[in-house]
Structure 1
Amino acid sequence: MTGSPPSSRISGNAEAQVRRVAVMPCAALAPVLHLRHGPAGVALSGAATARLGHRPTPPDTALGLHGGWDWDGRTLTAEVDALGYFSLFYYSKGSEIAVSASILQLLALGADAEPDPVALAVFHRIGHFLGEDTPFRHIKVLPPAGRLVWRDGVASVSGNLPIPREAGLSRSQAVEAFIEVPRAAIRRFLADWDGPVVLPLSGGRDSRHILLEMLHQGRKPDMAATFHQGGQILDREVQAARALTERGGVRHGLLGHPRRRLRDALRAMLLTQFCADEHAQMMPMHDYLSGTPGVAALDGIGGDILTNPDDSAADFFDRARQGDYDGIARRLVAGHGSVISRPGHPGGAGAIHSPDLEEAAIARIAEAIRAFDAAPDPYQAFWFWNRTRREIAFVSTGILGPAARVGCPFLSPEFVELGLSLPFAVTRDQRLHDDAIARAYPAFADIPYAEGFRNPPLPRLRWARMANLLDGLRVAAMAQPDRPIGAMRQLLSRQPLHRKPADIYRLHDHFVTTMTADEARRLIALEDRLRSKAPKGERVVTDVLGA
């Protein structure tokens, strides 16, 4: 690498330099290790040992996602949890190796920032990366059950991606299993954690299931929190969440202050290591937890894809059984493009940022789905091991990262195996999770999910809109200080994509294609500055109702 900080040449045991980090609120706090093998020995800089995330003993992905590394003076060993849902990145080129949970930290050390064109073309078309890819050719993420070993300048990486056989369960048996397996995982978490619990609560199935099971086990969360940016005008997500908490006697906090859109989008992009086009909407939860020390959070990640809520799933299942993986890939790309594009531009971000790589991206996506041909539902397995692992997992490790502990009941080994082994006939109607929740908690079965409520109209004239625009211009200039006027003009101009994705993909493309060690250090400082200035804890809460 070039631009590395001064390093010590060592042989034998490394100095006892250990970083134990339970949370990853920003790149500035992320440990990093860089090793270079040469004739005089190994040059080391950074933390020789790091423990990241939440690693219970014995390891249990329901109780925490984790990663870390150890350098003993001769051998570097780095590992992640069995699912690979904790993103631990490594840079390997020549006789060098570097590891960190922050891509920016690797780049700041001088890692080769050459972009990976096909990986980026995939990102432009479906909003996340596949397998172990990142935006940069020489930076990868460890695979599920990933283990990296580096000695004498040579690195090897191993992992395990299990594909369970189809289980012979009836619909009724599957419903019962979808009650009992999460029940056991939540029981383990509550037995392991006796401190306060904050439950992010939406109007959907996964967080509702966790809340009702906590009530069933006699352990109310200290607060259920719902993010919402409409002030006291409650949208349908909040209405559904509040109906549950009122009946359950649970304290419900509303994170309802208007947010600064571009500021949150930029922070989320940096927090997710340039690997996701989502999560800006969840920054209120991140800021609330950042100012609420000592609490645990329970995340419903995995519950949805393991119970088949996808309207395209039946078509994709049939296509997979015909071997039409190219057709699935094209439909995925078209679907994502239609969501983020304005009328008249169905091509999404790919048509703007990587138009010449359409077929290469399609082939890469089709290949990634085909890898799960032996699974009971190849599309479901692809989604779980790719989008959920490579994009949604940043909610657990990044958005909720400031929590003292983050539990993921639907990522318990038993539940993952159950969900991925179910016959598609059992999940085809998309009501498996609904039926399990209704059977387990009949006293709440009459409360609709978010889609059963109606969003009230918002006032046309809102000061928050003007304040948002002014802040967006300021943030655009901070993000691209080399061309602040042009950045502000782009923010104001009409784009082929809807405003939010247009800004995200434009900034993403700019950062990746112009990345240097100096730029990485600037972005680390910028992220830290934006984080420190954000309101936190109770300052994010607009309303609390209940016990």
Structure 2
Amino acid sequence: MKVFLAIAAKVRGTGVERAMAVARRSIGAAFPVPAEEVTHEEWREPGAALLAWTNEPGPAITYAAGVSGYLADPRDLPAAAAGDLGLGGCYSLFTCRSAATGPTGADPVYHAETPELHVYGSRALLVHLVATGGRVEHDPLALQSMVRQGYFLSDETPFAGVRALPPGHRITAGRAEPYGLAEPTDLASALVASVRGIEGTARLTLTGGRDSRLIAATLHAAGIPFTAVTYGTQDNPDVILARKVARRLRVDHQVIAPKPVTPDDTATRVAEVLRTCEGMTSAYENVAPHTPFRARPSLGGHGGEILRGGFLLGCQDHRRKLDALFLGNLDLLTAEAAEHARGLAESWQPTPETLDHLYLRYRVGRWHAAARAGIQRSGLRIQPFLDHRVVTAALAVDPAERATQGLVHGLIAELAPALARVPFEARRWPWSKPAQKTPDWRSEPGDALKSAILGSRELAAIVRLDRVEPLLYGPRLPKPALVWHLATVATLLRPMRMAVAA
């Protein structure tokens, strides 16, 4: 994982050195990796600086620029550093005075401005601390969508004055502008190119579903050796189907039995997700824990919904879906927070194109971008469905057509004909015994959840706690995800939780 911070003075010679000092002190709070694993680099220009921290091998700053994420072909580094966002890979770009996101925003850029400085970075908290001189000031109203959905449905962040740069945008001197996407190429060719630069044997998490199977077909077509891994019991349909796929492609297949589920300590879980995802992903989500960085490339089916229509998949009523996103659980909010939510909803029309855009901009560009930090800090994760050229090619296909899932089926048959007739989906076989469903401990009420939520005066500024209280009692939580969203926001808003001494 690489962390970048760009600082540019509005008037040369003012504030840059002081901001750099704050950044050096603050990085421990903003980079969710032990300090002993991190190296640091700096690039200086008159009135500007680019700072980088990484736990990956190799330099972080090259050609006076930083590429956050990865390139499908490492030989493209000079072109990427020169500002080309149309290359293969999933990345964002930083220089001393500018930053840019890819077409999904999955590798994020955050920005803030002070009377003296423009500040851009890949970690929202670091940008905020540098802009404020080390103080943490939250934006409670911005957190209303975190309460309702568990991620952001706007360019806001938890931190006052810090915004996320939208996908496909470049920012210079505080001015953000969209740049044109590259001309789309053939989608199958783009998929193959997205993995062709992989060196060594890759590791693919393979299930019985479409997305990871398309990745397997892509690796097969590109001639990349890989090992398939499936988590589950031997009679699990995911395992059975994945084994069949591996045999058809003649690759090794490893089955890893599920570990006994042990409840996490609630406070520890929330704190770790907040540290990793900066308050932009709910602690209800299972965020990958930190392990030392491994350079072996790993892949999975993350992001495949882009090729299957995103929010359009299975959607029969566009207005209802739009309202569920922006206005769901509105009754739990205070009047001011509810009005803020309505204001964000007003600009969107219930069309297929809108839902397609919202999925890419917010589900990928905000939710996945925040959660992805857990994976990035521990290893090289190749994500073909987020590859810039793949996304550009996919967006050239009508979203309604993608939502039929015929596009994915056709790609699998084209890239790996041997898989064309292998069935899909992880459902129990009709003749098998009913599966014993493992209880989800996250749906169990607990004193830690109750005290975190009901004891939060800060949360009461945006949430009506009297309406939340009934959700916290009973043998099982009626809306466990919502309760964990609330606990996440309540913990985030605790005074001085992440403050850094100036």
TM-score by length of 2: 0.68
1:156 maps to what in 2?
A: 174
Query: Structure 1 residues 428, 224: closer, same or farther in 2, change over 3 A?
Result: closer
Deviation at 1:209, TM superposition (A): 0.7
What pairs up with 1:174-253 in 2 under 5 angstroms?
A: 177-187=186-196, 189-190=197-198, 194-221=199-226, 223-226=227-230, 232=233, 235-248=236-249, 249-253=251-255
Q: Is 2:151 aligned against 1:128?
A: yes
Deviation at 1:364, TM superposition (A): 0.8
2:294 maps to what in 1?
A: 293
Deviation at 1:520, TM superposition (A): 0.7
1:54 maps to what in 2?
A: 70
Q: Match of 1:392, as an amino acid?
A: H
Deviation at 1:361, TM superposition (A): 1.3
Q: Is 2:325 aligned against 1:332?
A: yes
2:308 maps to what in 1?
A: 307
What pairs up with 1:60-209 in 2 under 5 angstroms?
A: 62-70=88-96, 76-81=97-102, 83-106=104-127, 110-111=134-135, 113-117=137-141, 119-149=142-172, 155-160=173-178, 177-187=186-196, 189-190=197-198, 194-209=199-214
The one of 258, 272, 277 aligned to 1:272: 277
The one of 481, 486, 490 aligned to 1:510: 490
Q: Distance between the aligned counterparts of 1:11 and 1:267, measured in 2?
A: 38
Query: Structure 1 residues 311, 14: closer, same or farther in 2, change over 3 A?
Result: closer
Kept after mapping to 1: 8 A contact 2:100/2:168: yes
Q: Is 2:367 aligned against 1:391?
A: yes
1:520 maps to what in 2?
A: 498
Deviates more, 1:352-361 or 1:493-502: 493-502
Query: Structure 1 residues 107, 407: closer, same or farther in 2, change over 3 A?
Result: same
1:37 maps to what in 2?
A: none
Deviation at 1:512, TM superposition (A): 3.8
RMSD value over aligned CA atoms?
4.9
Mark the runs of 5 or more structure 2 residues left unpaired by the alignment: 1-11, 54-59, 81-85, 458-468
Deviation at 1:252, TM superposition (A): 2.4
Kept after mapping to 2: 8 A contact 1:275/1:391: yes
Kept after mapping to 1: 8 A contact 2:269/2:283: no
Kept after mapping to 2: 8 A contact 1:298/1:408: yes
Q: Distance between the aligned counterparts of 2:220 and 2:195, measured in 1?
A: 11
Q: Is 2:428 aligned against 1:435?
A: no
Q: Match of 2:212, as an amino acid?
A: S
SS in 2 for 1:520: coil
Q: Match of 1:510, as an amino acid?
A: A
Kept after mapping to 2: 8 A contact 1:91/1:111: no
Q: Distance between the aligned counterparts of 1:213 and 1:481, measured in 2?
A: 51
Deviation at 1:240, TM superposition (A): 3.5
Deviation per CA, 1:167-195, whole angstroms, max 9, x where unpaired?
9xxxxxx9xx44333123232x33xxx13
Deviation at 1:297, TM superposition (A): 2.3
Q: Distance between the aligned counterparts of 2:218 and 2:50, measured in 1?
A: 47
SS in 1 for 2:207: coil
Kept after mapping to 1: 8 A contact 2:128/2:162: no
Q: Match of 2:177, as an amino acid?
A: G
SS in 2 for 1:54: strand
Kept after mapping to 1: 8 A contact 2:303/2:364: yes
1:351 maps to what in 2?
A: 331
Kept after mapping to 2: 8 A contact 1:240/1:449: yes
Q: Distance between the aligned counterparts of 1:291 and 1:227, measured in 2?
A: 22
Deviation at 1:295, TM superposition (A): 1.0
Deviation per CA, 1:100-132, whole angstroms, max 9, x where unpaired?
433344555534513151x32233334322342
Q: Percent identity?
A: 18
Deviation at 1:160, TM superposition (A): 1.4
Query: Structure 1 residues 46, 440: closer, same or farther in 2, change over 3 A?
Result: closer
Kept after mapping to 2: 8 A contact 1:380/1:420: no
Q: Distance between the aligned counterparts of 1:126 and 1:42, measured in 2?
A: 41
Deviation at 1:505, TM superposition (A): 1.6
Q: Distance between the aligned counterparts of 1:356 and 1:497, measured in 2?
A: 27
SS in 1 for 2:294: coil
Q: Distance between the aligned counterparts of 2:377 and 2:359, measured in 1?
A: 27
Q: Match of 1:63, as an amino acid?
A: G
Q: Distance between the aligned counterparts of 2:479 and 2:156, measured in 1?
A: 27
Q: Match of 1:224, as an amino acid?
A: A
1:447 maps to what in 2?
A: 422
Kept after mapping to 1: 8 A contact 2:284/2:484: no
1:530 maps to what in 2?
A: none
Deviation per CA, 1:62-84, whole angstroms, max 9, x where unpaired?
424234443xxxxx444444543
Q: Match of 2:364, as an amino acid?
A: T
Deviation per CA, 1:364-421, whole angstroms, max 9, x where unpaired?
1341x35x98xx82321221122211112345x4132035433232233433233223
Q: Distance between the aligned counterparts of 1:42 and 1:481, measured in 2?
A: 46
Q: Distance between the aligned counterparts of 1:142 and 1:181, measured in 2?
A: 25
Query: Structure 1 residues 440, 270: closer, same or farther in 2, change over 3 A?
Result: same
SS in 1 for 2:89: coil
SS in 2 for 1:297: strand
Mark the runs of 5 or more structure 1 residues left unpaired by the alignment: 1-9, 35-40, 71-75, 150-154, 168-173, 320-326, 338-346, 484-488, 523-547
SS in 1 for 2:325: helix
What pairs up with 1:386-535 in 2 under 5 angstroms?
A: 386-395=362-371, 397-424=372-399, 426-427=401-402, 429-453=404-428, 493-494=473-474, 498=478, 500-516=480-496, 519-521=497-499
Q: Distance between the aligned counterparts of 2:136 and 2:438, measured in 1?
A: 48
SS in 1 for 2:224: coil
Q: Match of 2:345, as an amino acid?
A: I
Q: Distance between the aligned counterparts of 2:309 and 2:208, measured in 1?
A: 17
Deviation at 1:441, TM superposition (A): 2.5
Kept after mapping to 1: 8 A contact 2:221/2:415: no
Q: Distance between the aligned counterparts of 2:292 and 2:188, measured in 1?
A: 34
Kept after mapping to 1: 8 A contact 2:192/2:221: no
Structure with bigger RCO (C-alpha 8 Å, 6+ apart): 1
Q: Match of 1:128, as an amino acid?
A: Y
